[in-house]
Amino acid sequence: MSRVQTGLEVLISDCPEKIRGARIGVVCHPASVDAELRHALDLLQAAGAHIAAIFGPEHGARGEAQDMEGVDDLALDPRLGVPVHSLYGASLATLKPRPEQLRDLDVLVIDLQDVGARYYTFVWTLALCMEAAGQIGLRVLVCDRPNPLNGITTEGNLLQPGFESFVGLHPVPNRHGLTPGEIARYVREWRGIDCELEIVPMRGWQRAMYFDATGLPWVYPSPNMPTLETALVYPGMCLVEATELSEGRGTCRPFEVAGAPGIDAEALAAELTRQGLAGCRFRPLYFRPKFQKHAGGTCGGVQIHITERQQFDAYATGVAFLDSVKRLAPQVFAWREKPYEFVADIPAIDLLAGDASLRQALEDAADWRELAADWARQRAEFEAVRRAVLLYS
């Protein structure tokens, strides 16, 4: 089987003249590599570009920072000797490049591996970079990469007006079925972000592909996204971040493992099994996170084992997990009340879910499945928009 070539590889092999001799800024992270694990910065420099600035998204350009951990600018990259600007600092204003950081550039090259879920912030860094570049007339060149979860399946509901945040700046489903390049087309053509945009498409990627069909190496794009299996459960199990339950950070299987002290693991696994969710099984387990929520404490919970990824609905599974814990262990269940992604006046669960209806249903002990028909309706309405920005068949 021939492997997929990323937009970065196509740029270097087929059209290096697009960046040769240009002063470029590069938005990148550790997963910005080719199939031989050579980093974009080295490849772009070798192709004749003059790298004048580096921009790091959440977790930093080097990827060492944990979630929601502010990263400071570096005066100079120790290897290349150019400024490194953080696009995830201590305030909302730091998420977008400042005009003075872009003004002396000829082109802004963006090469970020996404994981296909609305909450994952790299596509919103892309959108904010497009907005900033458009304001000063700077050209944006997006090197496209695969959606690891395939480019067909969508899950969940659309983000509703008034619930925008860095875990959802524009109305796409929780699992959106788009590549970074297609997100870029969507926000320019349907959301009014005006910039000079060029996308370097992949070669050989087909929409039905999961990441392990691409022939490309998995480089974890953030500290708690170690495997494709993590990415498969993430569109639903990221909802656990909006509670005081552990989403498995501080373990070797974040998002696949979740729970809290005081939960009967066997009872929780049995309840989730009773809900009849397709494509997965729930194994009771006890775990002890080494950091973040409940660090050092023994948590009861479950591990999600995917048995058929084509049938598995991560979003429904995440909702069912919250519902089951709230019913079985109400003394343990609590929503996160601290600010989330720089937002203090909207509950974290509403930001992640995209509206207040999920929280209200769970608080009222209503059957969450009654919401599912409306989720499907919203996705169906979005499908015409999604089809209009697709780059691949």
Tally of CA atoms within 13 A in the half-sphere of 32 that contains its CB: 28
In terms of Cα–Cα distance, which of 316, 334, 326 is closest to 370? 316
The pTM for the full model equals 0.96
Q: Which tens digit of pLDDT belongs to each residue from 316-349?
A: 999 999 999 999 999 999 999 999 999 999 999 9
Q: Please tell me the predicted confidence (pLDDT) of residue 62.
A: 82
DSSP state of 78: T
Does residue 3 register a pLDDT over 70? yes
Reading the block at residue 125, the tokens are 């860094």
In terms of Cα–Cα distance, which of 249, 219, 214 is closest to 234? 249
Does residue 292 register a pLDDT over 90? yes
Query: What average pLDDT does the chain have?
Result: 96
Does residue 17 register a pLDDT over 60? yes
Q: Which tens digit of pLDDT belongs to each residue from 168-186?
A: 999 999 999 999 999 999 9
When the candidates are 3.30.1490.20, 3.40.50.620, 3.30.429.10, 3.40.50.12170, the CATH number that belongs to 7-223 is 3.40.50.12170
CATH 3.90.1150.140 location in the chain:
228-355
Q: Please tell me the predicted confidence (pLDDT) of residue 44.
A: 98
In terms of Cα–Cα distance, which of 279, 272, 249 is closest to 329? 272
Please say whether the beta carbons of 121 and 110 come within 8 A: no
Q: Please tell me the predicted confidence (pLDDT) of residue 70.
A: 78
Does residue 1 register a pLDDT over 60? no
Residues 294-319, mean pLDDT to the nearest whole number: 98
Q: Please tell me the predicted confidence (pLDDT) of residue 81.
A: 92
CATH 3.40.50.12170 location in the chain:
7-223
Domain 228-355 sits in CATH at 3.90.1150.140
